[in-house]
Structure 1
Amino acid sequence: MQTQSQQTLYEQDLAAWFNDTIAKLKAKDFDAIDIDSLIEEIEGLAGRDRRELKNRLKVLLVHLLKRLYVDAPQDYRGWELTIQEQREQLSDLLEQSPSLRNHLIKTFPDIWQRSLSTVRAEYPSDQFPAEWQFSL
């Protein structure tokens, strides 16, 4: 059960609450842990990783579309560097949490459409494919 002081610490200083909770977990002092806040934080972490995956995937797709379909050689190097960085970050994220691959596959169609909308708005005179033409 959560005490008033645990709730106050959680609301006033999240870093201190983390340190306090870690110490209690290590000491196996489970009765003193603010379980509701711990659950909230773990749920937040899972959501954060899914949002990061979606954001990085969108940046990757936007820059791939630009590099493949926009004739702007002066911009190619910057786009290529962004593509490389996003691939590395996505790879690291999926290595750390392999189950996120399922989320990637599930959300890919939506992210593809958002990416396509972004580049079409930015480059209205260029032609982009309506469908993703490569494997995941």
Structure 2
Amino acid sequence: MTQMIPTTDTLYEQDFVAWCEDTVAKLKRRELDNLDFENLIEEIASLGRSERRELRNRLTVLLAHILKRRYVKSSENFRGWELTIIEQRRQIKNLLQDSPSLKPYLGQIFTGAYEDALEEVRFEYQLTDFPDTWQFDIEADVLLAKAYWEED
């Protein structure tokens, strides 16, 4: 009984890791005629979307925790919120270091990320008054370093 070798299209659909390995091998051998360009283009494009989505998610978490730390009077939670702020800042810095072209994107997504963060904290802390708009500088270097809760 002969085992049928899947075509490139079915390999992509049946075993993504094997498709990746096959594609890398073909690229290394410069076998451009045998590449599955359609799926390769889609996968490369999705990598960029994935990085942007991760940046937005991390920014939303960062903003939500800055809002909590700044406006919610709950000292027993301050340390946990600050640890989350530190971690999200670290991860955002790593993303921006790995992909510097994401830095302008940070400004593009800021308003939407703030709105998402605001929706979350307003639901969680219904008795706390949070500002409708971000009250501080949105410059990336400031956002990733400043202790906003120390301001009055």
**TM bucket normalised to smaller:** over 0.9
The one of 13, 16, 19 equivalent to 2:15 is 13
Residue identity in the other structure for 1:98: P
- Distance in 1, matches of 2:53 and 2:19, equals 24
The one of 100, 107, 110 equivalent to 2:109 is 107
Deviates more, 1:59-68 or 1:121-130: 121-130
Shift of 1:103: 1.5
Percent identity between the two aligned chains: 50
Larger radius of gyration: 2
- Distance in 1, matches of 2:15 and 2:31, equals 21
- Distance in 1, matches of 2:30 and 2:36, equals 13
Write out the 4+ residue segments of structure 1 that deviate beyond 6 Å after TM superposition: none
Consecutive unaligned residues in structure 2, runs of 5 or more: 1-5, 139-152
TM norm structure 1:
0.94
Q: Does 1:88 align with 2:99?
A: no
The one of 97, 121, 124 equivalent to 1:122 is 124
- Deviation sequence 1:110-136 (CA, Å, 0-9, x none): 111111111111101111122212222
Cross-structure match for 1:27: 29
| Count of paired positions | 133
Shift of 1:55: 0.3
The one of 132, 135, 138 equivalent to 1:133 is 135
- Distance in 2, matches of 1:102 and 1:34, equals 32
RMSD: 1.0
- Distance in 1, matches of 2:137 and 2:30, equals 47
Matches for 1:47-62 after TM superposition, within 5 Å: 47-62=49-64
